[in-house]
Structure 1
Amino acid sequence: MKEYIYYYQSPIGYIRIKGDDEAILAIDFAEEGQNKECYPEHIKDCITQLDEYFAGKRKSFDVSYLLKGTEFQKKVWTELSKVSYGEKVSYKDIAKRIGNEKAVRAVGTTNGKNPVSIIVPCHRVVGADGKLTGYAWGLWRKEWLLEHEKKYK
């Protein structure tokens, strides 16, 4: 199956959108790259929805994406996708929600491996004390995303 990569210029750096003919496979931060002219509709939808999100007009995403990982990882990422716009939860909250309260560290590790950041909002997970902790793309981006959502909540 053919893969497509689009480099989206966001207020917090370039976002690489990777997909195939059927779904979004990954969204992460990257250096600037070269865009092509022809993309499947779901990638165009993703670009439009990111535009709306960064403009403060979109609070949830409805693009088609595929989560590849273990059953545990998929369970965590699915639970993350239920965290509302502007809401903050702890790693322990997510562990409880998936029925495994002792899996806090594993939830943290899985959170850091989220393949579709922003769309599956791993940036909304904070430490038990409410402080910002770990974000694969830099704490400054996590803080920016949370402040952005607070502004448009």
Structure 2
Amino acid sequence: MWWSTQPAQGIDAATFRAMAQNALQRHLLSFHAGWHDPIPQLLEAAQNIVVTPTLDVATLPTWSRRRSLLIGDAAHATSPHAGQGASLALEDAMRLGRLMQEGQELGATFRKFEDERRPRAERVVALARRNGNSKREFSATGAWIRDRMLKLLLPVSARGMNWMYAYDPRAA
């Protein structure tokens, strides 16, 4: 599975959803023209292109009730703009497993799990939402400037992302 998020360019989602597969494929190939390998090959090989909105779950009042607990996307679905949805689900599973080994009452275990996991999950969801909302159409000059700035700033900003990429659910 892959995602292509792009500015609306004056075309609404309903129009995209009504397009034939070959028209969608041509649009994507045109939009991503000049991108590095294997992007063109992935687009050319696509057989079932689906247009969907990118949504997230901002917050739920609680992740558990009695003997039931939500984890992963059921508790904190995130848009794909941070690339962390599956990672959050795996972290949840690992942390819940560790907490279950402590042998506490189930309700207490679920509360502790949510107290530990909620701040991180909501921070990732918020980051993904900001990333998605910041995608907009650029002029050719604006895109050129953006691309050069990203090459300069990404190495610097990467250190500030350790909270997300260096997280170890076993140590939480």
What range is the shorter-chain TM-score in? under 0.3
- TM-score normalised by length of structure 1: 0.23
Higher helix share: 2
- TM-score normalised by length of structure 2: 0.22
State the structure with more CA Rg.
2
Higher strand share: 1
